[in-house]
Amino acid sequence: MLKSDNLIVMACILAAQAVGAVLCLNFLMLTWTLDGNGLSVMTGRLPYWDFTNLWGGGRMALQGHVGDLFEPDTYRAALRALLSPRMLDQEWSYPPSMLMIGVPLATLPILPAYLLWTGLTLLGLYWAARRLSLSRLDCVFVLLAPPVIIDVMVGQNGALTAALLLGGLILAPKRPLVAGILFGLLTLKPHLGLLVPFCLLASRNYRAIASATATAACMVLITAMIFGWSIWRSFFEQTGPLMRGIMEAPYPQGYHANAMTFFTLSRSLGLDLHASYAIQIAAAIAAIVAVLWLWQRRNAVDPAVRVALTGIMALCATPYGYTYDAVLLPVALVVLGSRQIVAMPLLALAWVLPAFNHLMILVLPSLGIIPPALVAAAGILTLWRRRRETAAADPVTASAAPPVR
């Protein structure tokens, strides 16, 4: 539970947590309320609709039809044949290495596979949160946070990517080889790892860089040995342009309801692609500059705070992010709140807003990325100010000061 001396502020935080949990648990219940065709009454889709890509792609690979993943019409027809003729259009969007997870899951029927996937990814998230010294009660609040429930609701991989990123960052200083393995596995969904190389370079953690590079290379090699080298050529030649086309499609599209990026915000304000990319690049550069400062060895920042802020800035840096990717956010908010790095009202807003993201775009621009960005900026400014105050008070020993909390 977030800690504060101010009982009123504490009540506001708890209210935000409760509202987010109740609202999203209601979404989850409605998602699993099915009509006579086995589709969700709320979404008109299968209740684990994004997981169908992971499971369906794995099943096609098991059947020897891995090439179907890269032909959208063939892929959609195969999914409908496997699951339901009423399925809406979907696309395979993952690197081929994701089949290393999809194929084992596809040996099970889809419902047990979904339950196993959800349980294991949440367990990974719980592990990462505990590594950041969150209490068990803190972890319960995290698991009930809106981005986590939305991730579960659609069968996405936000809990997995959050566990890999946060776990790698917290292990990097003392266990660089293990951290590198986690970072290498994060290439399963690489857009959330954009800041990792800069963190490792700033901290001169070359062993973690080597471990991450070797792990990623092994994943490419193993995938190619099992499915053939052509699978990677198909991914870059067909899936890459397909996903870029989806990202650059005119605003609004249905999937924009869950988008949380500066790129989507810019599109929602009527800016063209060039201007939107420019704003997203500016946000990414700001995040890079911040993590280069955070991860310098001479900058003795509390490791948990450093990891928390890096996780939030990873959301700000990517042009391709949705509410289910924001699983990083509640973990970071608990860390920052417990150390009083950021004002509690801002933390409460950032906590609950993902639950309303899909509703806001009906009347407002795509503002989902703004609260995380404000939290990250406020956190960096607080650490900078405290470091300046420490240096001003004792310039001689400032470099040896304890971690900024």
Cα–Cα distance measured from residue 403 to residue 218, given in angstroms and rounded to the nearest whole number:
37
Query: Residue 53: how many CB atoms within 10 A of its CB?
Result: 21
Burial class (CB in 10 A: 0-12, 13-18, 19+), 191: middle
- What percentage of the chain has pLDDT greater than the value 70? 94
- pLDDT number for residue 9: 56
Residue 81 included in any domain: no
Supply the range of the domain harboring residue 261. 7-45+122-240+257-386
Burial code (b: 16+ CB inside 10 Å, e: under 16) for 106-124 equals: bebebeebbeebbeebbeb
Is residue 21 pLDDT above 90, yes or no? no
SS3 of 34, please? strand
* Band of pLDDT at residue 353, cut at 50, 70 and 90: confident
What string of DSSP letters covers 142-185? HHTSHHHHHHHHHT-SHHHHHHHHHHHHHHTTT-HHHHHHHHHH
Phi, psi of 89 (to 5 degrees): -60, 135
Quick: pLDDT tens for 7-16. 665 666 677 7
Residue 65 included in any domain: no
Whether the CB-CB separation of 199 and 310 falls below 8 Å is answered with yes
Range 272-278 average pLDDT: 96
Nearest of 322, 333, 10, 324 to residue 142 by alpha carbon: 333
Residue 208 is encoded by which pair of tokens? 């973690």
- What percentage of the chain has pLDDT greater than the value 90? 63
Cα–Cα distance measured from residue 4 to residue 273, given in angstroms and rounded to the nearest whole number:
43
* Band of pLDDT at residue 2, cut at 50, 70 and 90: very low
* Band of pLDDT at residue 339, cut at 50, 70 and 90: confident
Q: Which residue has the higher pLDDT, 119 or 359?
A: 119
Residue 333 included in any domain: yes
Is residue 233 pLDDT above 60, yes or no? yes
Quick: pLDDT tens for 24-69. 788 888 888 888 777 887 777 888 888 999 999 999 999 999 999 9
Residue 210 included in any domain: yes
Residue 137 included in any domain: yes
* Band of pLDDT at residue 394, cut at 50, 70 and 90: low
Residues with Cβ < 8 Å from 134, sequence gap 6 or more?
142, 331, 334, 335
Q: How many structural domains comprise the chain? A: 1
- pLDDT number for residue 1: 45
Is residue 399 pLDDT above 60, yes or no? no
